[in-house]
Chain A
């Protein structure tokens, strides 16, 4: 890791009742670094990603994101922090079915006081970059899987995040479309310098990363 640390987790433990899903995990990610979190299904990857992104609080341990201890933040503080600092890409896209492509991209900006035209301009620019300039007004139902994921990526980038969290981003896509999405993520990493933490169980995909972190039964093993 050559750059300053943007994200770090120290002694992270997450329990659901008696079940310990994340066991004493410590890790850090540098600014602009592309890290893959790999492991079998149910090994705790998604839970760890949720903790590191501030979607979930650890039972114990500490997460520092861009110099802020997010484990101490309230729910609303976390929401605002996520809006300003991180982006999410989910396996099943999680687009809002009643909003058009550009509106889905602008979704994080809806609560922000901003001119409607500015929101649309920023969303359109990102969709152009994703080669979806011709799909601005389409509802998610009218988009292919690859297009939906590209809309989701654009949404994740709308606030110029420092870290992008991707949870099995190609899991619902065919291999060709998955490759295209991976290409976009790699470009974001190399050209935009966005730090990426990607969860996957496909070892092949992890080859695109600068670093691979392996998990097994809630523990980081390498």
Chain B
């Protein structure tokens, strides 16, 4: 293979080189962009759960309490027994588990949404520790509470105040602005899980809907191996019953409703079509190029180039062209992906995951998680795009080279 000959051929036959490169690069760019979009939607669908440090949340829907007084369960989240939580925690693919207890507290003067949070756990609402805007996070063993900052402003609650929740006094130690960080598992007041369990245990309205024992909770947050999430969803329903609400990135993806989000098959089919068209353009251009060079190939063979020499030369030309096309396609894809990353996407939060009582004003409004679509070209996809273009080049070059090397020099050189 002669580099100088190769470079000259590509340089002096600029028109066909450019057509071939542009054709394939567009195909590669479409492939990379479609897959980047698909990844972006998947990543976006992970956000609502990711921001509370989980991959899966588990709730058990229950009945509406007869009497909306004192401490009650939201009807979307009733008791998850401790033994059920343990079984789920031991499922294959579970990396860690966090617990929470969401309660509605209807006191005579005020209604609270109260969330019991584990003090130290990187999974679940304890990650909201970083959302404390003023004061400090509560400490275990003390009756301390964090109040959501907007709620505190609305009702004039200050740090150091004492608030009464279902007749128990809690000292306000800080404000928290969870709404910026998360859309699920948010509340007006955050207390320790143990204190929340104490409230639930002593509530007749809680016990009448779903018996609640020491150690029970009503929210589970699971960190899991990505590839086992679908299988775990089924296992969780086996343990807790078919009606259990299991939220996964897949379930959020379905809510997004985009073609890219809905179907890997769509992305794959569209990518395949783009690549096929691109390959056909590149193949046709290169085939035309090589057919035009039949006489040149005849000369090469006449002056002593073997079939292998000819095929190697054409193969290298094709691979280099397609490699350049791959890089160019990747460049186009990065530019377009950057543009697309300014798009926003609104992910609807299912009503059962919204902590607000739906019968209160504004409680039934659809809650959305709005975020910029995280479109970028993953390194693996970039390598795949370039690698694929090299493979296409190799395949095209080898195929056309083999075909053209069968030319007999006497046949193409005699017709002068």
Contact = CB atoms under 8 A, between A and B. Distances in A.
A139 B300 CA distance: 17
B409 A159 contact: no
Given A55-B410, A90-B416, A110-B5, A97 B302 contact: no
Contacts of B309: 79, 110-111
Nearest to B295: A94
Instruction: Sort chain B's interface into a size bin.
Output: 20 to 34
A75 interface: yes
Interface in B365-401: none
Interface residues of A, number: 31
B285 interface: no
Interface stretch (A80-88, A188-196, A200-208): A80-88
B13 A84 contact: no
B120 interface: no
Interface string B1-24: 010110011011100000000000
A55 B409 contact: yes
A99 B299 CA distance: 13
Given A90-B413, A96-B296, A111 B304 contact: yes
Contacts of A110: 2, 5, 305, 309
B12 A111 contact: no
A92 interface: yes
A103 B3 CA distance: 12
B136 interface: no
B307 interface: yes
Contact of B4 (A50, A88, A103): A103
A136 to B, nearest CB: 14
Interface of B: 2, 4-5, 8-9, 11-13, 295-296, 298-309, 408-410, 413-414, 416
12 contacts: A79-B306, A83-B303, A83-B304, A94-B302, A96-B299, A98-B11, A108-B305, A110-B305, A111-B2, A111-B304, A155-B303, A168-B416
Interface of A: 46-47, 50, 55-56, 75-76, 79-80, 82-84, 88, 90-92, 94, 96-99, 103, 107-108, 110-111, 139, 155, 159, 168, 171
8 closest A-B pairs by beta carbon, nearest first, are A83-B304, A56-B410, A98-B12, A50-B410, A55-B410, A108-B303, A111-B309, A110-B2
